[in-house]
């Protein structure tokens, strides 16, 4: 059985300073931390144990940070059930850890920072592995490859990536897609997530949005008449995503890598992708 904690929406999430980030984390409520015997306590501080794998094993629960609003990665279907291919991957990882997954849903711009306050043990949410993030956190081996694209309104005069310079791009402020669009010279219009960002482009309140091809393909399958089109060029990113966790958790990292290796070897990871997106996103090599 899985559980899911869904926090109340908290207004605009444009994080322009350390103070704004701190306020946002406070708005998410006190963190849930395990004591040395693996039980969970809410004290607003950092994790009480240095060994998350031992705590997960002891408690029988792994706390997983996830947005829960990002189709087809992880989202709520018409019945309210959390589904999606990253949800399936998270379930498989939890099973490999011998634990029950507890999904703690958090908006993107405070998702990774939730690791800093012990809000959850790991994050599984299409988090790109970047040098900057690796300075502060540990990643598992990659479990998905990402192809980036840019969408604009159908009648937009933007035809190439070079045309994005000086235009507005609707992006979650701390995402790797925001960085990719910034590198193209776009001005970032902060949004809460993909759905809001693509809607701003549809309404022509933003000039463009950068994201992965899977997200755009899923959106266009459901909204074939939507007022957007994709540029032909791929974003110049060679991105892969992994499970992210706090520094110092090498034992947990090694165990998750072992689970992912097994899923790649037995074909179960590929099967998850085929079920949800019809193509294999498993990284090669």
pLDDT digits (tens, 9 = 90+) for 100-135: 999 999 998 899 999 999 999 999 999 989 999 999
Instruction: Say whether 283 sits in a helix, a strand or coil.
Output: coil
Average pLDDT, the chain: 85
- Tokens 């957007």 appear where? 228
Range(s) of the chain covered by CATH 3.40.190.10: 3-143+242-277, 146-230
What percent of the chain is predicted at pLDDT more than 70? 82
Please answer whether residues 99 and 93 qualify as being in contact, where contact means their C-beta atoms are separated by less than 8 angstroms: no
202-220, pLDDT tens digit by residue? 999 999 999 989 989 989 9
Question: Which of the 8 DSSP states describes residue 269?
Answer: H
Q: Is the pLDDT of residue 15 over 90?
A: no
Put the strands of the sheet holding 137-139 in their side by side order.
Answer: 3-5, 100-105, 61-66, 122-123, 244-246, 137-139
Residues in Cβ contact with 166 at an 8 Å cutoff, skipping those fewer than 6 apart: 185, 186, 187
Chain length of the chain: 285
What pLDDT, on a 0 to 100 scale, did the predictor assign at position 50? 80
- Return d(Cα 102, Cα 62) in angstroms, integer: 6
pLDDT band at 285 (very low <50, low <70, confident <90, very high): low
CATH of domain 146-230: 3.40.190.10
Question: Which of the 8 DSSP states describes residue 163?
Answer: G
- If one counts every other C-beta atom within 10 angstroms of the C-beta of residue 95, the result is 13
- Return d(Cα 151, Cα 157) in angstroms, integer: 12
Please answer whether residues 154 and 174 qualify as being in contact, where contact means their C-beta atoms are separated by less than 8 angstroms: no
- Return d(Cα 156, Cα 114) in angstroms, integer: 38
Nearest CA-CA partner of 264 in 284, 240, 241, 279: 284
pTM of the model: 0.72
Please answer whether residues 216 and 230 qualify as being in contact, where contact means their C-beta atoms are separated by less than 8 angstroms: yes
Q: Is the pLDDT of residue 39 over 80?
A: no
58-101, pLDDT tens digit by residue? 999 999 999 999 889 999 999 999 999 999 999 999 999 999 99
Instruction: Looking at the structure, give the CATH architecture of the domain made up of residues 3-143+242-277.
Output: 3-Layer(aba) Sandwich (3.40)
Tokens representing residue 256 in the block:
């998750």
- β-strand partners of 53: none
What pLDDT, on a 0 to 100 scale, did the predictor assign at position 247? 97
What percent of the chain is predicted at pLDDT more than 90? 70
Instruction: For residue 151, give the H/E element and its range.
Output: strand 148-152
């Amino acid at each position: 059985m899985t559980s899911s904690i869904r926090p109340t929406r908290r207004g605009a999430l444009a994080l322009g300073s350390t103070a704004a980030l701190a306020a946002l984390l406070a708005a998410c409520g006190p963190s849930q931390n395990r004591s040395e015997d693996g039980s969970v306590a809410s004290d607003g501080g950092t994790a009480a144990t240095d060994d998350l794998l031992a705590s997960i094993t002891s408690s029988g629960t792994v706390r997983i940070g996830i947005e829960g609003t990002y189709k087809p990665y992880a989202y709520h279907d018409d019945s309210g059930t959390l589904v999606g291919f990253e949800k399936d991957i998270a379930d498989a990882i939890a099973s490999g850890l011998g634990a029950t997954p507890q999904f703690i849903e958090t908006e993107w711009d405070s998702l990774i920072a939730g690791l800093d306050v012990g809000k959850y043990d790991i994050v599984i949410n299409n988090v790109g592995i970047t040098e900057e993030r690796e300075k502060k956190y540990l990643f598992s081996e990659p479990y998905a490859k990402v192809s980036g694209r840019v969408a604009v309104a159908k009648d937009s005069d933007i035809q190439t990536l070079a045309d994005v310079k000086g235009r507005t791009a609707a992006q979650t402020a701390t995402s790797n897609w925001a960085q990719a669009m910034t590198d193209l010279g776009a001005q970032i219009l902060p949004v809460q997530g993909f759905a809001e960002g693509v809607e701003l482009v549809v309404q022509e309140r933003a000039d463009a949005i950068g994201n992965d091809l899977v997200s755009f393909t899923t959106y266009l399958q459901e909204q074939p008449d939507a007022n957007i089109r994709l540029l032909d060029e791929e974003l110049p990113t060679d991105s892969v995503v992994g499970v992210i966790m706090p520094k110092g958790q090498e034992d947990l990292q090694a165990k998750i890598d072992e689970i992912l290796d097994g899923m790649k070897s037995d074909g179960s990871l590929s099967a998850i992708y085929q079920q949800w997106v019809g193509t294999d996103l498993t990284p090669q090599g």
